């Protein structure tokens, strides 16, 4: 009995650990690019992709759904970039537009699916708020692969990415392929967000990117330290939140993780304020 419980808790725990790590790493760069709300947009925009994949394949396996979400997220990022480049509309208005219109499309598909006589539609509901407790061995395998891809790619483009984030004109001047680096970064962002939908769901995924990055920014003074600090805090908050949600019946995982992550971050910010007012 004890072994079984341990095993049942181990897989979600490892899954959340990987998601928290990835979100912390990539969130740092999104924070430095001042585009954390792009994460919110991608997360919301993944909904029509998930529903569409479900409708298209009639298959509730999470691999298929995640792939659909990935495609929709990429479409959203591409649209946002195109609109930012070719129109004079403010980028926040563009993000809000893409976010809400894609989500509306998702709602229409969702209501369509709810009328179909298929039992597997319950799977879709877990993407709204996330349910880490239902992570399976296959999901863990997928998450590990995604995590490896994200980390390796990020380490490969680390220095160019930092230069592009802090001084895009300089990067242009010294002949860096800025476009390629940013595209790679956006793909990583979409990958991480879509993978994180398992844990915290569509509505709250952006928080897992922002909160660790904000805390890490307040504590550290270099990009490397910030990234590792954010990854560590993301993983810790994920584990703590999951333990909290497992401690009582029916507690949703996503909100628990978000409360732990943001609560810790607010403590860090408050400590910083207190120190400044004393000094």
- Is 110 an interacting residue with respect to other proteins (CB under 8 A)? yes
- For the CB of residue 193, give the shortest distance to other proteins in the complex, in Å: 13
- Is 237 an interacting residue with respect to other proteins (CB under 8 A)? no
Sketch the per residue contact string, 21 through 40, with other proteins: x for CB under 8 A, - otherwise: ----------x--xxxx-xx
Q: Report yes or no: 17 and 198 within 8 Å, Cβ to Cβ.
A: no
> Which stretch in 10-18, 106-114, 219-227, 232-240 sits in contact with other proteins by CB under 8 A?
106-114
- Is 93 an interacting residue with respect to other proteins (CB under 8 A)? yes
- Is 240 an interacting residue with respect to other proteins (CB under 8 A)? no
- Is 227 an interacting residue with respect to other proteins (CB under 8 A)? no
- Is 92 an interacting residue with respect to other proteins (CB under 8 A)? yes
CA separation (Å) from 111 to 55, 69, 125, 136, 197?
12, 17, 12, 27, 20
In this chain, which of 12, 25, 207, 239 binds other proteins, going by CB under 8 A? 207
- Is 67 an interacting residue with respect to other proteins (CB under 8 A)? no
- For the CB of residue 111, give the shortest distance to other proteins in the complex, in Å: 4
Task: Round to whole Å and give the CA distance between 184 and 179.
Answer: 9
- For the CB of residue 141, give the shortest distance to other proteins in the complex, in Å: 28
Q: Report yes or no: 199 and 19 within 8 Å, Cβ to Cβ.
A: yes
Residue among 58, 74, 4, 29 nearest 230 (CA): 29
C-beta of 194 vs 208, nearer to other proteins: 208
139: three-class secondary structure by DSSP = helix
Residue among 48, 107, 52, 37 nearest 73 (CA): 48
Q: Report yes or no: 42 and 76 within 8 Å, Cβ to Cβ.
A: yes
In this chain, which of 100, 166, 172, 224 binds other proteins, going by CB under 8 A? 100
Task: Round to whole Å and give the CA distance between 48 and 8.
Answer: 31
CA separation (Å) from 6 to 3, 10, 14?
5, 6, 12
Task: Round to whole Å and give the CA distance between 75 and 182.
Answer: 15
Q: Which residues bind other proteins (CB under 8 A)?
A: 31, 34-37, 39-40, 44, 83, 86-90, 92-97, 99-101, 103-108, 110-112, 128-129, 203-204, 206-207, 209-211, 213-214, 218, 248, 250-252, 254-256, 258-259, 262-263, 265-266, 269, 272-273
């Amino acid at each position: 009995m004890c072994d079984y419980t341990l095993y049942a808790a181990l897989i979600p725990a490892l899954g959340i650990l990987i998601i928290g790590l990835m979100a912390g790493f990539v969130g740092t760069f999104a924070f430095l690019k001042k585009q954390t709300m792009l994460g919110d947009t991608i997360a919301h925009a993944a909904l029509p992709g998930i529903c569409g994949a479900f409708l298209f394949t009639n298959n509730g396996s999470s691999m298929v759904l995640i792939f659909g979400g990935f495609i929709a997220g990429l479409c959203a990022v591409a649209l946002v970039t195109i609109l930012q480049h070719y129109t004079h509309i403010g980028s926040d208005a563009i993000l809000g537009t893409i976010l809400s219109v894609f989500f509306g499309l998702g709602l229409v598909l969702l209501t369509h699916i709810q009328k179909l006589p298929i039992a597997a539609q319950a799977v879709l509901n877990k993407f709204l708020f996330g349910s880490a407790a239902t992570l399976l061995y296959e999901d863990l395998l997928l998450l590990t692969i995604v995590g490896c891809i994200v980390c390796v790619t990020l380490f490969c483009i680390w220095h160019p990415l930092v230069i592009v984030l802090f001084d895009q004109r300089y990067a242009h001047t010294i002949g860096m392929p800025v476009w390629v680096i940013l595209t790679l970064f956006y793909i990583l962002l979409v990958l991480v967000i879509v993978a994180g939908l398992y844990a915290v769901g569509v509505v709250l995924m952006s928080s897992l990117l922002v909160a660790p990055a904000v805390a890490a920014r307040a504590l550290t003074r270099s990009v490397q330290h910030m990234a590792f600090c954010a990854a560590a805090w993301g993983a810790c908050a994920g584990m703590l939140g999951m333990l909290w949600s497992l401690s009582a019946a029916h507690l949703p995982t996503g909100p628990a993780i978000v409360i732990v992550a943001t609560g810790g971050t607010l403590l860090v910010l408050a400590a910083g304020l207190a120190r400044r007012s004393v000094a």
